[in-house]
Structure 1
Amino acid sequence: MNDIKELREHVKDLKVLFVDDEEMVRDGTGIFLRKFFDNVIICCDGEDGLKTFKESQDFDIVITDVVMPKMDGITMIKNIKKINPDIFTIFITASRELEDAQDRLSNITIKKPISFDDIIMIMQTVGTLK
């Protein structure tokens, strides 16, 4: 599945939770994600992301920043994995160093800013899970 339209058709119904504390990143990445996934919910920090996940546990993918106020992405994902250990998780980070916990908890780790190629890689990876 290399054709972008075919990839989009295959993954468009997946529900994505995107969490980032930076408004510009949320807005830009949200627009970008919605070009490929029909159902993208956006939260501004780990507490909001965890609350949203608990309220609607039918997410297929959680994409989160690592460093955020109130609750960081690692803590949020640890709590989400207690609810659904099989949830597909993606960390996005500006940090050059990856923490061990981050590696163990995520299916994919992407360096900020998220790119078109990153989205294609995500679609190819989650497309194999469907």
Structure 2
Amino acid sequence: MKILVIDDDPSVRKFIATTLKNENYTVTEAENGEDGLKKFQEERDIGIIITDLLMPDKEGIETIMEIRKVNPSIKILAISGGGKAGPENYLLLADAVGANATLKKPFSGQELIMCLRLLE
């Protein structure tokens, strides 16, 4: 299964991509919501999207809402480390706009894989 990882932090993106590749997932990476939406529209075989919520250019909530308009059934995992309001507020909002699951940063590779297995 191909997974699209959208996160503006290169180290987080690399950690997620490496963890997923070790579990035999195919990974496409994007550094913000704008880039993520473009890749989502170009690559038709994406099965799950993992998106950060706080990013420049286009943040995760807006990205989730736009993806939902195009594909209401794709699985979306929202991740966040917080910001000023704290991660819980952003994750609740992501849930409200259509994320299938949420994960608070920092998380382990094992937590990520467990979360994805529930989505599959």
Give yes or no for the alignment of 1:82 onto 2:74. Answer: no
Q: CA RMSD in A?
A: 1.5
- The C-alpha deviation readout for 1:100-122, integer Å capped at 9, x for no partner, is 53112111110112313312322
Aligned partner (choices 5, 10, 30) of residue 23 of structure 1: 10
Matched, 1:34 2:21: yes
2:92 pairs with 1:92: no
Structure 2 unaligned regions, length at least 5: none
Question: 2:115 matched to which residue of 1?
Answer: 122
Q: Deviations over 1:42-71 (max 9, x none)?
A: 110000000000111321100010000000
Match of 2:95 among 96, 103, 119: 103
| Counterpart secondary structure, 1:63 | strand
Structure 1: runs of 5+ lacking an equivalent = 1-13
What amino acid is aligned across from residue 38 of structure 1 in structure 2? Y
Deviations 1:68-121 (A, max 9, x none): 000001111111111110010001100233245311211111011231331232
Alignment of 1:35-74 (within 5 A): 35-74=22-61
Q: How many residues align?
A: 114
Return the TM-score normalized by structure 1: 0.80
SS of 1:97's equivalent in the other structure is helix
- In the alignment, is the contact (CA less than 8 A) between 1:15 and 1:37 conserved in 2? no
Counterpart among 107, 112, 117 of residue 105 in structure 2? 112
**Aligned residues: percent identity?**
37
